[in-house]
Amino acid sequence: MNYNINNTSVRLLISCHDQPGIVSAVSTFLHQYKANIVQSDQYSTDPSGGMFFMRVEFEMLDPDFDITMIRTAFTEIGLSFEMDWRMELASRKKKMAIFVSKEDHCLLELLWRWRAGEIDVDIPLVISNHPDLKEQVESYGIPFFHIPVTKATKQQAEQEAIQKLHEHNIDFIVLARYMQILSPDFVGTFPKRIINIHHSFLPAFIGANPYAKAFERGVKLIGATAHYVTDDLDEGPIIEQDVLRVNHRYTTEQLRVAGRNVERIALARAVTWHINDQIIVHGNKTVVF
């Protein structure tokens, strides 16, 4: 990720059954359309009948190239190898929505990195089920929408949120400690486009009060897990995990403070990788290049 991105930079992500000729076909295609490969990564679960994953970054030598035409032309190769693939302009800024409740540490980490230029996205809105963080969000010049959620109004609240996300053409959503379980309808509207941060090293300590449970067990490591959201609570494809060493002297509150630091780092990494098109989801796993 250390080359200069410009308007001719393109990313191609591929997954398919491993078979001879894939790399050759892709390279020949890119040469035919006057593209220069600047980075290529690949991985096979098993060269004999396994799954093959590939990520290619390339520069189009013709500054007036048509990405739609390139995508259409690549369709033939995609069909011949039965690929699941996508081709993205690296210069197109993704639009990220943030959902948050009352805790601000993950939200502020993302906003700080965004303002510092470390996370290259547009953030058209932040949605919360509480009004507490309105002033902090708006200090960054980002619209804040308070959509209360109760058991009786949950469906209506989700529909209101979906409408706002569509109005702003959101590409993906980050749950920055949003303390609500999303319905299957909501998750199905944005498949593989909702990133959550879980306050433990999954699959350990699922559910509420993880730091109290960790304290009771006398853990020596605490962690956080960033993952894509699916209908199975906290069981979606894991993007990133991180841990921090602790000891018997840590109180529950000290564990919570340390855990927040890990949560911020793991979530920021996952968001960055998603923005850079470094992640391929396969089943309930991810390949991160």
The pairing of strands 94-100 and 84-89 is unpaired
Spatial separation of the C-alpha atoms in residues 265 and 268, rounded to whole Å: 5
Cα dihedral 85→87→90→93 (10° resolution): -90
46 catalytic? Reply is no
Helices (H), the chain: 22-32, 67-80, 105-115, 134-138, 154-167, 184-189, 210-217, 252-275
Cα atoms in the Cβ-side hemisphere of radius 13 Å centred on 151: 0
Cα atoms in the Cβ-side hemisphere of radius 13 Å centred on 12: 27
Spatial separation of the C-alpha atoms in residues 267 and 249, rounded to whole Å: 27
Spatial separation of the C-alpha atoms in residues 282 and 269, rounded to whole Å: 19
Select from 256, 263, 194 the least CA-distant residue to 223: 263
Annotated catalytic residue: which of 66, 231, 234, 242? 234
The DSSP bridge partners found for residue 241 are: 225
Contact 19, 45 (CB under 8 A): no
Please list the active-site residues: 234
